[in-house]
Amino acid sequence: MSAVFAHGYLFLYHTRVAQTYSQNLTHLLRPLRFKKRVPTSSQSSDRGTKSHISEPELRITDMFALCVMMLALVGIRVSVSAEPSVSFPPARPSLANLNALCNRGDGRPRYPALLFPASGHGHQRRCGAAINRVEAWYGMCCAAGKTQGQTLCCAKQAWEYALKVFCMEEFMVKDLPHECCEEERGEARWRCFEREAPNPYYQAIPGYTAPSVSVDLGFTWDANAC
Helix (H, G, I), strand (E, B) or coil at 55: strand
Please state, as a whole number, how many other Cβ atoms lie within 10 Å of the Cβ of residue 52.
11
- CA-based nearest residue to 125, from 168, 165, 161, 83: 83
Question: Residue 80: is it exposed, middle or buried by C-beta count within 10 angstroms (0-12/13-18/19+)?
Answer: middle
Q: What is the mean pLDDT of residues 29-47?
A: 46
pLDDT at position 82 is 60
Least reliable range by pLDDT among 51-65, 92-106, 194-208:
51-65
What is the rounded distance in angstroms from the CA atom of residue 114 to the CA atom of residue 150? 35
Q: Going by C-beta distance under 8 Å and a sequence separation of 6 or more, which residues neighbour residue 174?
A: none
pLDDT at position 95 is 98
* Residue 78 near residue 20, CB atoms below 8 Å: no
* Residue 100 near residue 137, CB atoms below 8 Å: no
Q: Going by C-beta distance under 8 Å and a sequence separation of 6 or more, which residues neighbour residue 57?
A: 32, 33, 34, 35
* Domain chopping of the chain, boundaries: 2-80, 98-218
Element (H, E) at 151: helix 148-171
Which pLDDT tens digit goes with each residue over 172-195?
998 899 999 998 778 999 999 999
More confident: 25 or 139: 139
More confident: 61 or 108: 108
Confidence of residue 59 (pLDDT cuts 50, 70, 90): low
Beta-bridge mates of residue 55: 35
Give Cα 194 to chain centroid, integer Å.
Answer: 19
Helices (H) and strands (E) in the chain, counts: 7, 2
pLDDT at position 119 is 81
Which pLDDT tens digit goes with each residue over 150-165?
999 999 999 999 999 9
> Chain-wide mean pLDDT for the chain?
77
Which pLDDT tens digit goes with each residue over 94-151?
999 999 999 999 999 999 999 998 888 899 999 999 999 999 999 999 999 999 999 9
Q: Going by C-beta distance under 8 Å and a sequence separation of 6 or more, which residues neighbour residue 16?
A: 206, 207, 208
Beta-bridge mates of residue 33: 57
C-alpha distances in angstroms, 73 versus 83, 106, 161, 174?
18, 27, 39, 37
* CA atoms lying within 13 Å on the CB side of residue 217: 18
What is the rounded distance in angstroms from the CA atom of residue 205 to the CA atom of residue 182? 31
Q: Is the pLDDT of residue 58 over 60?
A: no
Q: What is the mean pLDDT of residues 70-83?
A: 44
Least reliable range by pLDDT among 44-48, 57-61, 178-182:
44-48
pLDDT at position 156 is 98
The answer to whether the predicted template modeling score (pTM) of the entire model surpasses 0.85 is no
| Terminal Cα distance for the chain, rounded | 47
